[in-house]
Amino acid sequence: EGAYEGKPFKRPVRAQCVLLLRSGSFLETNHEDYVAARLDTFVRIDRTSIKLFAKAMHPWVGKTADANFIDTLTFVSNLSQAATNNPHQLEQLVHKLPRISPQLQREMLSIATSDRTGNPRNKTRVARARNR
């Protein structure tokens, strides 16, 4: 739940939003792990006059949200590949994050260097996000 105050609206626009993220991992025939993800967004706007504007803007807002979601998954995919291919470089990067506590740094490294069963990653199995 939230509100937007600013141009082009004279009064605050209040809305409720629910984001539903569904994901799952699977092993491909090439023996690589993949993650599939889908994000559905549901928005309810309180002012009737704004609803028409929102319907007109929906295609552009949807494309922007999709692009941001894909960019985020690409980052996670690249981080996963770095953890698989060069875990020592990832460890150096994690220790250079000044706002992350040592405890969270250890947890991040533990997650990043383990496969989905919690075992150390096998170099031949790379988890990747891909656009389906």
Closest CA to 16 of 48, 53, 41: 41
Q: With 90 as the cut, is the pLDDT of residue 82 above it?
A: no
What was the pLDDT predicted at 89? 86
**Taking each helix axis from N to C terminus, what angle separates 48-85 and 87-95, rounded to the nearest 10 degrees?**
120
Query: Burial code of 76-105, b = ≥16 C-beta within 10 A, e = fewer?
Result: ebeebeebbeebeebbeebeeeeeeeeeee
Cα atoms found within 13 Å of the Cα of residue 8, Cβ hemisphere only = 4
At which residue do the structure tokens 């993650």 appear?
35
Q: Give 86-108 pLDDT, tens digit per residue.
A: 888 888 888 898 899 999 998 88
pLDDT score of 11 more than 80: yes
pLDDT in tens, 30-48: 887 778 888 888 888 877 7
Q: In the structure encoding, which two tokens stand for residue 120, read together?
A: 């150390």
One-letter amino acid at 27 equals L
